[in-house]
Chain A
């Protein structure tokens, strides 16, 4: 099986115990990977694959460079390291 690395940005790291990257298999669909990591798909604003925005139904290929980008400071998603993390979901 060929592995593909996905980079988690910002608060999405919290779904991988703080790790920046996770590994998936070529042939998997992004939404399956999100499901395995228990990341709610609505939290992922943009999926970037090799510098291009793709949908969550994109099927991973060998050599893909993938960034999963959340929506950040507009609403809830302060990084927890920030002193400005004030309100967590109840």
Chain B
């Protein structure tokens, strides 16, 4: 089967069996790979209402048909599971160079099931696949363990690893690779930790079958050339995602003090040129990347090297916790990377705790003596470790802001900045309705990467609550996750403006299957509806209520900055959902209709 290795690995951690099964051509046809394989597998294999941290949950690792090939940005691989943070669908995409070795070993996916009685790691070298004892690595941080595994196995092995946060079942633990790349969101690392799977080490030496090599080379060369000629390259290569920090503050989108504001008065310390000139030591790209946005940095203040911080990390370990010292942000980034925490959720949860502390809902009696004021960097460093170890207040915060609000009580749920149990990522959206809708309807909880629609709000009018806003969110929710099916980074499109028209033709040269861009978008829509059906099945009473943002959005206007005074009234929130559901062909409660499922070929799969 061109474009695929042809084999899926099934690893049962309970009884230590490893099976190789042929990749189903129908699966490749209807779901492409990556996120598509993951969504299908989770829906068909995880028993209804299974414990996310139990043996019945699956952890799926899946590259796509572009992964590991010389296509711009084709260095992505998906990790997916039923989320312990939300109880619903979760996938998270990871860059780096892991996916190349994975593909060259000949595999299209790994499905992990069961729970190992003791710590293990999966060793893969082409046909050799073994579960090995990981007792020596258990308890080690992500960076430390990756270094140790490379020392044992050799530099040519690529490693995906979890840290103590995952071992301790912190609900927002990540999977780490290449000393600073992560599959970060929604607790995919937590599921890996729950299975006592410390790491996956892979090396491959095979090739990937390509239908038309000459045409492939020609197409790929044209794509690389377009990237090289992009005027955006200079910006993104120099500053990475931190290139947008200044803009985010200018437009009032930068999360500040637990989303009380959208502009941080100390943001000038965090912007691109300061970052580049003060701490960046070198650029760091993923596999086959023409525009390396990763930055490897050094903090002399804390004497640590770290990849980053990225924009999102500046938002949550900086502005949202009121910290404007770049080296403190970098150090907190390092701590999260080593302990194995998602920086978005970790910072968001700490910001929530800080607001609770400043509002008197919790005191030093609750915080183990920590003065949890905004801007207290030392308290943040301590709290990151406490969360990872589940010590003291860290045990409560390890459950995420939604669960913590249930403990802290009073009105704290109004400002626990999460949707569906996943902490909101880095865009304050009370003056960006399409972005707000994107967060509300994202299929892993409140994450920006499915529809980064704030740019559309700005172009089309930030006060408008019109049908085109919902249409744009839907359009983006089909385009952007499609990259996670293909196994390619979307940033060449987002940052460099690489034309989307390249992708269907190059996929055809690889697979030999003739599909238009619209055909691919239809696959993406099928997957979006399937993940929605997963939520409906797994979460009792799932529907519109689950798409609501925290009440801060309609109760409290933005404090200060260019969007001061803005909020989104509740009826406008409902209007956004009404438009969105109708355009999607879902009912008024946000459930896909039978007609829509039939249109997408999902009727037989989805139980009534």
Contact = CB atoms under 8 A, between A and B. Distances in A.
Interface residues of A, number: 35
A46 B235 CA distance: 8
A75 B464 contact: no
Interface string A62-90: 00000101011111111100111011011
A75 B456 contact: yes
Interface stretch (B9-17, B246-254, B406-414): B246-254
A18 interface: no
A7 B501 contact: no
B472 A76 contact: yes
Contacts of B235: 45-46, 48, 53, 67, 69
Given A69-B232, A84-B517, A90-B460, A79 B471 contact: no
Contact of B459 (A55, A67, A89): A89
Given A48-B234, A67-B231, A89-B459, A84 B244 contact: no
A67 B230 CA distance: 12
B244 A89 contact: no
Given A42-B251, A74-B494, A82 B501 contact: yes
A24 interface: no
B467 A90 contact: yes
A55 B457 CA distance: 22
Query: Is the contact region of chain B dominated by helix, strand, or loop, or is it mixed?
Result: helix
Contacts of B457: 75
B467 A51 contact: no
A40 interface: yes
B238 interface: yes
B468 A40 contact: no
Main secondary structure of the interface of A (DSSP, over half): loop
Contacts of B250: 41-42, 56
Contact of A87 (B238, B472, B498): B472
Given A73-B493, A89-B468, A53 B272 contact: yes
A75 B246 contact: no
Interface residues of B, number: 45
A16 interface: no
A46 B459 contact: no
Given A10-B231, A82-B499, A73 B466 contact: no
B455 A46 contact: no
B467 A87 contact: no
A37 interface: no
Nearest to A20: B231
A43 B456 CA distance: 10
Contacts of A89: 456, 459-461, 468
Contact of B468 (A52, A55, A75, A90): A90
Nearest to B467: A90
Nearest to B469: A90
Given A41-B250, A69-B231, A75 B472 contact: yes
Contacts of B456: 75-76, 89
B234 A67 contact: yes
A75 B453 CA distance: 5
A7 B235 CA distance: 14
Contacts of A52: 273
Interface in A27-63: 40-46, 48, 51-56
Given A9-B231, A51-B234, A74-B494, A40 B501 contact: no
B438 to A, nearest CB: 10
8 contacts: A69-B232, A72-B497, A73-B494, A75-B458, A76-B456, A76-B458, A77-B459, A82-B500
Given A73-B494, A75-B459, A77-B455, 8 more contacts: A42-B250, A45-B247, A46-B246, A53-B235, A71-B247, A82-B500, A83-B501, A87-B471
Nearest 4 interchain pairs by C-beta: A75-B455, A89-B460, A74-B452, A76-B456
